[in-house]
Each structure stands twice: as C-alpha cells, then as structure tokens.
Structure 1
Amino acid sequence: MPPRRRTDPEQGRAALRAALDALDAGTTPQRPDLAAAVRFTLEELAAHHPGGSVEVRVPPFAAVQVVAGPKHTRGTPPAVVETDAVTWLELATGRLAFEDARAGGRVRASGERADLGRLLPVTGPGA
C-alpha cells in the first residue's frame, strides 16, 4: 500500500518552484513554501521507494521511512539520513549529489542502507 499523501501534489510542486526560485534569487524561501516543498519531495521519495528500513529526516518539517528491507518498530531505525531543508531540496531536485552533500557535512547518514545516491533525484532541477 502506498504511503498516504499529506501534501496535494499540485500545491507541493508550486511550493517547490517557489522555494527553488527564492534559492536561485539568493534569498531564503518563505517558511510555508519550504515546509510544503520538503513534505512533497519526501512523499515523492516514499512513493517511489516504499519500505521501512531507512528513515529520512528533514527537521522540523517531516520524516519518512523508505527502502525495502528490515523494518523497525521501536527506537532508532537501522539506517537514518538527516539534513536541513535547503540541502534536502537540492538533493531531491538533483542540484546536489548525495555523495557531495555527505562529504561536505551537509548530510548525516548512518546504517548500511543510508546511501540515498541511487534514489535521488525525485524530481527535476526546475521542478
């Protein structure tokens, strides 16, 4: 069963475009756009790669469980990826490679399935 969407896809795409436009202009995206864009792209990731073996966290906006494999039920999952909202949007749209973000300290990843490089991007750079 696919994960339940909390973000309307049309509104999510519009928020993502607005957030990317702000980043391109060198400004900080408005918080509602940033929040909706993060939720939308995380939901896209979960829809394309369902499972429960990796938890992807983008505080304070959202977290999803993805990738088939061992599922956790309590406590910390076997693999965790955490980053900030702007970095996540850059990863989700292919503007930033996962390996580069991890090497630059912009992503914290632990666990054997925590390399999301093969799963990204989930949408194009122009959204």
Structure 2
Amino acid sequence: MARASVDPAEVRAAVVAVSQWLRDEGVGAPARGELAAAVRGTVRALAASAPGHSVEVRVPPFVAVQCVAGPRHTRGTPPNVVETDPRTWLLLATGLLDFEAAVASGAVSASGSRAGEVAHWLPITRLDQSG
C-alpha cells in the first residue's frame, strides 16, 4: 500500500493550531480533531522523511506507522517501538522536548536497538515565537 503524501503546509498549520497548548498545558486541550490532525500529520511526515519498516512509532489513539530503513517487520510485536501520548509526541515533533530526555523521564517508551534512531528526524517542524 502506498503511503499518502504529506503536505508540509498542512502539517505546519495543524501544529500551529495546537501550539498554545503545547507551550502551556493550562490553556486546556485542543479539540480532538485538531489534536488528531497535528499528531497524524507529524507522524506521517516522519514516516515520509524516514521511509522504511524497522521502527514502529505509535501515538495512541491516533496513529501508528513503520519508518526507518532496515528489516521489515510483519508479525507480532515489532522489535523496535517508540510509543508515547499525543502531547509528548507533539513536543518532540516541534523541538520543545528532547527525545533522550523524554525517554529518560518515561514519557516515551523506546524499545529495541533501533528505536532511538527516530530522534535523528526530530523535530518535524519547529515552533518559533509567533507560531
């Protein structure tokens, strides 16, 4: 199955729509649709930038993709998995949180010898002071 193309402008707009919440959790969570668009867009952008099947990135309940070149995984639990919640993922995707720090704190579960390679493609899109 071919991967859907990712429009960088749409991904950026989706991230900007939730950026206030990313900077200050106290403002209240965005609408589910806005959050889903930002998470799906950034995870799919990662998969487009790092094509492959050796690492599975999961951000429940919105998306899971395989990425990073290497051996293809086809059955059962993948050997290399990165999993986190939507807000943590978006903090990583925007450069507001460091991958290694997130793993060390337990905010990100990274299992397998290749899971950490995802950090090479982060951030997906940076938030500047205005966006």
TM-score by length of 1: 0.89
Do the aligned partners of residues 119 and 8 (structure 1) sit closer, same or farther apart at CA in structure 2, a change above 3 Å counting? Answer: closer
Matched with 1:3 is 3
CA separation in 2, counterparts of 1:52 and 1:125? Answer: 28
Matched with 1:77 is 78
CA separation in 2, counterparts of 1:22 and 1:99? Answer: 22
Do the aligned partners of residues 124 and 108 (structure 1) sit closer, same or farther apart at CA in structure 2, a change above 3 Å counting? Answer: same
**Post-superposition shift, 1:88?**
0.2
Matched with 1:24 is 23
| Cα-Cα RMSD | 1.9
Instruction: State the aligned residue count.
Output: 126
- Gaps of at least 5 residues in structure 2 are none
CA separation in 2, counterparts of 1:122 and 1:11? Answer: 13
**Post-superposition shift, 1:59?**
0.1
- Gaps of at least 5 residues in structure 1 are none
TM-score by length of 2: 0.87
- State the identity %: 58
CA separation in 2, counterparts of 1:95 and 1:24? Answer: 8
Contact 2:53 2:73 in 1 (8 A): yes
**Which structure dedicates a bigger proportion of its chain to helix?**
2
**Post-superposition shift, 1:30?**
1.7
CA separation in 1, counterparts of 2:96 and 2:121? Answer: 14
